[in-house]
Amino acid sequence: MAKIYLDNNATTRVDPRVVEAMLPYFTEHYGNAASLTHSFGRDAEEAVERARQQVADSIGANPRDIVFTSGATESNNLALKGVAAMYRAQGDHLITVATEHKAVLDPLRRLGRDGWNVTVLPVDPFGHVSVERIAQAVTPRTVLVSVMAANNEIGTLQPIRAIGRWCKERGVLFHTDAAQAVGKIPLDVEEMGIDLLALSAHKMYGPKGVGALYVRRRDPRVRLEPQIDGGGQERGLRSGTSNVPGIVGFGVACELCRQEMTAEADRLTKLRERLRCGIQAQLSDVSSNGHPSERLPGNLNLSFSGVKGEALLMAMRDVAVSSGSACTTASVEPSYVLKALGLDDELAHGSLRFGLGRFTTAEEVEAAIEEVMRAVRYLRALNPLLALTSLQ
């Protein structure tokens, strides 16, 4: 059986069209984008600015509001720590959600150690946080609300537009980690009232090691304290020599996603439902996690009663998926995202995340269904309490 890649929420294959666009900037147009005294540098700078426009277009932003970084983790750190440093005189309260990525929760945890009051809101069984719950948590000292656009584990889409508009009406900054959402669902920073937005190229068929942070410059002007000092690149917010090939690839990846999003989302939604129905029709005690419809087109998270996610991963050697559990060298803990939904330890441990993407085929989905059924039935047969269930 040929290996099947269904882990596109972790990372995506770089689109060949993106690779083709990047190659000349390794060997022909290899100048430093800050070296504007000669044509090599000017060519590089022109390519960076073209990519800045392409990234901006993907989220309805002004290109001058785009700051290139090494990825969404750095972007989130710059947004959260940068705001905290600049707005401390105005307040000391930050709000986020229990199901956020660690790239948001860990910086906020550090800020909490530095004296900030951080409120982490619970979610409903689908992974949603409501505007009403955020409204109840906001105080006169609240500086920023951070809610991710789409969850990386369960695919649930948050009500970003409603949250952003509510925050704007009350003068609270709104940040969203949109690494999983950009290029997959429509996003518009103006319509949605977003002040800070983090995105990453490798989640959308671009190269690893490059991302961006949208920083609103008007209505209101968002001020950040830089986290990296040096040559003053990227409006002084992110010093360092520009990764020109990566930025070029990022721009092309954004452009391709913008052009193909509607058709791609429709195709992936159909494949996702074929995968879900195919598994649940032939295996008992399989439940879906996340919102049934308000979710990323290519994301499917399933819990399999009576089996461990790690055991399933080992049993499905030719299908690349992710376990819902977070593994460390010392222990295996159930996914904090699934626990936040209310799942018990058994179901949280027995979950798999399937990430379908641009290069996933219908034939691969059918093969994955067969492989999942084989692995689950085999593992359930090893459990005497589930021997009868495994034969269903």
CB 86 within 8 A of CB 225: yes
Q: Give backbone dihedrals phi and psi of 157, rounded to 5 degrees, phi first.
A: -95, 130
In eight-state DSSP terms, residue 99 is T
CB 96 within 8 A of CB 146: yes
For this structure, is 277 an active site residue?
no
Q: Give backbone dihedrals phi and psi of 212, rounded to 5 degrees, phi first.
A: -155, 160
- One-letter amino acid at 296 equals L
Give the Å distances, CA to CA, from 108 to 84, 139, 216.
10, 17, 21
Say how far apart CA 151 and CA 210 lie, in whole Å.
Answer: 20
Closest CA to 244 of 105, 93, 45, 56: 45
Q: Which of 167, 254, 277, 327 is catalytic?
A: 327
Residues 6+ apart with CB under 8 A from 365: 271, 274, 275, 278, 356
Active site residues: 327
